[in-house]
Amino acid sequence: MFPEHKPLYALTIGEFAELTKQLIEETLKEGGQKKETEKKGDEEKAETFNILELAKFLRCSKVSIHNYKKLGMPFYRIGRKVLFKKNEVLNFMKGLKSKRVIQA
């Protein structure tokens, strides 16, 4: 609708308003997509715990976390760091709870 070669000062008020409206709509669409991507990134960052964070999250001691590791709780070792994924820990705890119900 607006030729690329037409200078900004040569636009009529209506053309300028329409161009501004289109630019704002495009920017808002791009901003919404970036926010969704940032939220996914934040969720991924928030999904991992170290031993101390996991102990606080589960409201138990660090010794209990090590015992859960021995029972098969999935964890990841990166150098000296031990990390746990939140969804894997929750699935493990649900499985542990169901095993205790079956044993009782």
Burial of 54 (0-12, 13-18, 19+ CB in 10 A): buried
Burial of 89 (0-12, 13-18, 19+ CB in 10 A): buried
Taking the CB of residue 74, how many other CB atoms lie within 10 A of it?
Answer: 11
User: What tens digit of pLDDT does each residue of 17-28 get?
Assistant: 888 888 888 888
What is the pLDDT, as a whole number, of residue 19?
Answer: 83
CATH number of 48-103: 1.10.10
pLDDT class of 37 with cuts at 50, 70, 90: low
Where do the structural domains in the chain lie, given as residue ranges?
Answer: 8-45, 48-103
